[in-house]
Amino acid sequence: MKLLTNWLAATARLPRQHKLALASLSLLVGAALMWQPHPFSSSRDRQPIPIPNDTQNITSVEHSEPIEQGLDADDPALRVPEDALEKDITSEAPRTHQHTVAAGDTLGGIFSQYGLPISQLYQMLDENDRVGDIRRGQNMEWQVDEQGRLLTFTLYQSLKYRDQYRFEQGKVAYARLETKGDREKVTVIGRVNSSFYQQARQAGLTPNQIQNLVSALQWRFDFGRQSRRGDQFAIQVDKEFIDNKPVSSGNIFAMLYRAGDRDIFIYRHTDGRFYDEQGQSLDRALRRIPTAKRYRISSSFDPHRKHPITGRISPHNGTDFATPVGTSVLAAGDGVVVKARKHPLAGNYVVIKHGREYSTRYLHLHRILVKPGDHVSMGQRIALSGNTGRSTGPHLHFELLKYGHPVNAMKVPLPEAHPVPSQERGEFQRQAKHAQQALEQRLNG
């Protein structure tokens, strides 16, 4: 309230037209504040969950795709083909997705960023009305089916407790699971015979742990193409034991991978991320906006978008920017062009694969300046925007996909490639060195 009083006092001294401008601005700000996904109050009172993104004016489709012509996110023409490693990882279990709660995050907001069905959040809320009590730094993970619907959702409350929601035949079951055993750091070692994936499984790693390692190293080493028979690895992992038997697989702390005579080492910092022995980031950054300057967003990411008349769901899996024809389109990150051609709905389009985790799509282009197989760097001009395919006006449709699932490029956390903060780096390097030597000894001895 004090803020508002200050604001009123300040505006009293302004000329009239400024006051008017400010007043309408404050209305907008007020509306935005009211609309923000609600953080689910910690009281036991039931609270309605506002559905993010439903304030968007969906009847206006100028500079966008016609609403009834939603592009199929799974259209093979637009997809990045899976390689052998990818197939191995997804063959045993659905891929696990993860998120660490950041300041200001709400569960509704997180569902919206990753395109998870809000209706399933309501189901979880019916089972446990405290599901929305999340705090910064907390970890959550989930698995989805082919349609992007949740199969499981797990929220880690502490080292000891985790809340799990399992979806089956339209119903959800909730359980608070407890870690009962002792945790112990163990080292697993292996030698690649058929593939890294197979040997890592034999050494006792779960598909999820392998996925994490492969993702962490995606820019330094491609396990799908560079891994060879005879390569060796040693991995330090935190396992849970009951009566001296391992019952679950915890975090990975360090890995040494010996590819021929090249050693690759990664170590996990207290922030939960992996770095190299120097504390340098393993990630490459990605940009949210694939143009040199910002253009108006004519249609936002909304996987649950409803047709205003028919009420049918017509997902919008990307963000539309109202770019004039001929605007330079820039690669969102370093990567390899996997598709560059024409599609009846998407028009001229480009698909880029960034490491193993992300891919981006750029649709309705006027002219394409790259070809499949080209390596591109972040910010490189790849096309000129246009109005080709099914489009109601010049615009750029931009999609970001994480493991093949569309996510909100404007909101989802992106890799930033920061090193370990300088004040923590000395301690990190000491610990990393220690772990590296221990793993080297295991491989040499």
Binding mask 140-179 for Zn ion (x = CB under 5 A): ----------------------------------------
CA–CA separation, 339 and 353 (whole Å): 9
Identify the bridge partners of residue 6 per DSSP, sorted by sequence position.
none
Q: Which is nearer to Zn ion, 224 or 389 (CB)?
A: 389
Question: Hey, what are 326's tokens?
Answer: 């001929």
For residues 168 and 153, give the distance between their C-alpha atoms in angstroms, rounded to a whole number.
Answer: 12
What gap in Å lies between CA 229 and CA 214, rounded to an integer?
Answer: 17
Question: How many binding residues for Zn ion (CB under 5 A)?
Answer: 4
Nearest-approach distance from CB 397 to Zn ion, in angstroms: 3
Give the integer Cα–Cα distance in Å for 266 and 280.
Answer: 10
Residues numbered 27-86 forming contacts with Zn ion, rule: CB under 5 A: 65
Looking up tokens 């690895």 gives: 233
With contacts defined by CB under 5 A, name the span among 102-110, 211-219, 320-328, 384-392 that binds Zn ion: 320-328
Smallest distance from the beta carbon of 319 to Zn ion, in angstroms? 7
Query: Token pair for residue 141?
Result: 């993970």
The nearer residue to Zn ion, 250 or 318, going by C-beta atoms, is 318
Using CB under 5 A, which of the segments 39-47, 153-161, 393-401, 415-423 binds Zn ion? 393-401
- Find the binder of Zn ion among 304, 353, 397, 402 (CB under 5 A): 397
> From the list 302, 320, 357, 399, which residue makes contact with Zn ion (rule: CB under 5 A)?
320
Return the number of the residue (65 or 163) whose C-beta is nearest Zn ion.
65
Q: Which stretch binds Zn ion (CB under 5 A): 138-146, 169-177, 258-266, 315-323?
A: 315-323
Residue 47, helix vs strand vs coil = coil
Q: Which is nearer to Zn ion, 117 or 406 (CB)?
A: 406
Q: Give 174-224 as a 3 state SS string.
A: EEEEECCCEEEEEEEEEECCCCHHHHHHHCCCCHHHHHHHHHHCCCCCCCC
Least distance to Zn ion, CB of residue 316, Å: 6
Put the strands of the sheet holding 161-168 in their side by side order: 96-100, 139-144, 150-156, 161-168, 171-178
- For Zn ion, which residue has the nearest CB? 397
CB nearer to Zn ion: pick between 65 and 86:
65
Which parts of this chain interact with Zn ion (CB under 5 A)? 65, 318, 320, 397
